[in-house]
Structure 1
């Protein structure tokens, strides 16, 4: 997707994300991909706001966040709670926004050059910056804010937006209770890529994708796509579950290491030691097909990842939630019966073994997941924003 707005042709839609974690970017990419399928055509451009801010600010905002949640989760939990309780009018919040404005001059110029008819932000940072531009009369395009988790934090309560796009009715309720205008709140779900938007399509059939991967379609398949802090790295997690014994433990595993080359190499070596039981995948753009092959998905509860699982009706075993937003995402799924939670490495092995021994329970969780899924969320967002 083109990351530089045109300076000559106005855009129907400008989508702004922030690469602090990957979920906000993936939601923006999903909206851009869905816009390309609309009739009549919709010109849409996705811009990562972090590509147009001062280098020092970008490093603090993205690298600091990732290091903090990995190395000091207790501190992140405190900060998440503290900022949720701090009103936007507080001195600390005003100072934060002033620093952001000083660092984001290039971003604001890019937005002006794009001349968009509408703007969707998948992170609160660009929404806050553009709100001020609108208040100063320097921007007249309507700005929409897409919340990308299954709970609501104070930072998402940016006043003056044309509309607020919520994952669930509860998130919409929380928006209203915390003062956002009810007539601007819309329950759309969280946008997922078009590959997840047609769960009944033949290319997403479980058996076809299991066979395509060289696995046995009769035996159940676990997709493991996360090795967060607290439960060990992905190769050790996979090795642990493959060593399980007992009823139902003859399952197969698809392990996705992403861009972690060391983890991918370790998984490939492990696959050689357990022939026919493990498929090791590195970076992939076919996650929907891998997920379609799975009977259970072991993952961290990021807002976009679980939205993809829900779109395909997949039961989940959640590991290592980041304090704050991911813990709240996990709570939502547990309450609705679509997931279990493993608190540590021991719990991971125990709960995988238990679920594999209870196919009826897996089926109930899959049904709950399917009921929660919103595979057409991206299109619903575009319908609201573009009035189509």
Structure 2
């Protein structure tokens, strides 16, 4: 007789890549929700870059960050080039061969863990596992969570149990790429459970020393703190409501992330604006900062965009890099939840316009709230665990049928 209590305990492996912070944050969001919802389920999160050679890691992470920050046009070219490349081209074969050679330790770890299911929040592990599935060397279901509001070709692989899409357009693109409709679920992009809870602006503002009744802008450059945040903050703080007024019209939160150099420069600048500029380093409570803000000025990464929408926080997307950020920006702008600033002058113009026409800001806030999907992590976990329980039930019924023969 089957031991259902033992079979009900599941292990789910989450695989991300530390090229930017978003992929890991999506995986952690799923794990955080699962810890609250089902303590009998074990979720293990691995960064693929911990299992590759140092040279490969440097190219995939450090080089990526330098490229998007210093040569965004080149990154955009590579994004489009790889999206249009033929799978059987010599360059693609060489790329897959290099990845396979560099990931032997990861594949050994996956086989050793013997997870019941795997969720990939980056295309690299999905591509690696697709090869194992094709060779019948991996039998557990593999799910893919796309972490942008666009679908790059490198996310799409045969043999996946299912895909989670950020919106209906991404799901449409998945179907056009040959993924069966039954394997696609529109969930949004997983964000931390804290974004599903109501947050009191007065309480959150008091924690940072902000005036909750004053217009508040929030500036951020992603988890790595990309961009010249101190230069941009200085320009914003010099803004006046109009040329005849010297009164400050807003206070500014700047999230520097892990960029210690930017944080130090911002802290020095804050000495000149002690009641208006509030620099913050890396934090795991970004939702409390967003709860204080009326407008978010940011690079439109998939996770940051999803977090902002979940809280109904309008955005000004600041010089998005070509590729996935431009696609994310297009989505929120088309839906009326964001504006775009191609440079610092455009940013100043957008802000002046919103300050002078508050009804525009209110409309953007309503559109952002409409688009928000704060429960994406729950939907992803529920779908994976429910499918696992169905497989377990089918297996158990098969065993009972065999025992009765």
Compute the TM-score of the two structures, normalised by the length of structure 1.
Answer: 0.92
CA deviation map 1:15-52 (0-9, x unaligned): 00011111111111111111111135311000000100
Q: Secondary structure at the match of 2:137?
A: coil
CA distance, structure 1, for counterparts of residue 29 and residue 345 of structure 2: 36
Question: Does structure 1 retain, via aligned residues, the 8 Å contact 2:315–2:339?
Answer: yes
Partner SS state of residue 36, structure 1: helix
Partner in structure 2 of residue 352 of structure 1? 351
Give the gaps of 5 or more residues in structure 2.
1-8, 388-405
Offset at residue 99 of structure 1 (A)? 1.2
Q: Helix, strand or coil: the match of 1:37?
A: helix
Match of 1:224 in 2: 219
Q: Which moved more, 1:130-139 or 1:241-250?
A: 241-250
Match of 2:230 in 1: 235
Could you tell which deviates more after superposition, 179-188 or 75-84? 75-84
How far apart, in 2, do the equivalents of 1:187 and 1:89 lie?
A: 30
Deviation at 1:275, TM superposition (A): 2.7
- The 1-side partners of 2:364 and 2:233 are apart by 22
1:227 is displaced (CA, Å) by 8.6
Larger gyration radius, structure 1 or structure 2? 2
Counterpart for residue 100 of structure 2: 101
How many equivalent residue pairs?
Answer: 373
Question: In the TM superposition, what are the counterparts of 1:146-161 in structure 2 within 5 Å?
Answer: 146-161=145-160
Counterpart position of 2:391: none
Superposition map of 1:257-296 within 5 A: 257-296=256-295
Pair 1:315 & 2:314 matched: yes
* Residue of structure 2 in register with 1:132 after alignment: 131
Alignment of 1:1-388 (within 5 A): 12-39=11-38, 41-198=40-197, 200=198, 204-226=199-221, 233-246=228-241, 250-387=249-386
Decide whether the 8 Å contact of 2:165 with 2:189 is kept in 1: yes
Q: Report the more deviating stretch, 246-255 or 56-65.
A: 246-255
**Cα offset, 1:148, TM superposition:** 0.3
What RMSD, in angstroms, separates the aligned Cα atoms of the two structures? 1.8
**Could you tell me how far apart the structure 1 residues matched to 2:215 and 2:67 are?**
37
Output the CA distance in 2 between the equivalents of 1:370 and 1:22.
24
Conservation of the 8 A alpha-carbon contact between 1:301 and 1:318 = yes
TM-score by length of 2: 0.89
Alpha-carbon offset, residue 98 of structure 1: 1.4
Q: Is the 8 A contact 1:146 1:164 kept in 2?
A: yes
Cα separation, 2, equivalents of 1:40 and 1:73: 43
C-alpha distance in structure 1 between counterparts of 2:260 and 2:182, whole Å:
48
* CA offset digits 1:214-265 (Å, max 9, x no partner): 121221111111299xx96111111111111126951111111122222222
Partner of 2:397: none
Can you list the C-alpha shifts for 1:321-376, whole angstroms capped at 9, x where unaligned?
A: 12111000000010000000110111122212221222111111011000000000
Deviation at 1:67, TM superposition (A): 1.9
Summarize the Cα distance change of 1:361–1:249 in structure 2 as closer, same or farther, 3 Å threshold.
farther
Q: Give distance in 2, aligned partners of 1:151 and 1:259.
A: 26
Whether the 8 Å CA contact 2:166–2:186 is kept in 1: the answer is yes
**Superposed CA offset, 1:54-101 (max 9, x none):** 111111122222222222222222221111112323332222111111
Q: Report the secondary structure of 2:144's partner residue.
A: strand
Q: 1:269 to 1:40 in 2, by over 3 A?
A: closer
Kindly indicate whether the alpha-carbon contact (under 8 Å) linking 2:25 and 2:303 is maintained by their aligned counterparts in 1: yes
Check conservation: 1:166, 1:188, Cα contact below 8 A. yes
Runs of 4+ in 1 over 6 A off after TM superposition: none
Q: Distance in 1 between matches of 2:71 and 2:227?
A: 16
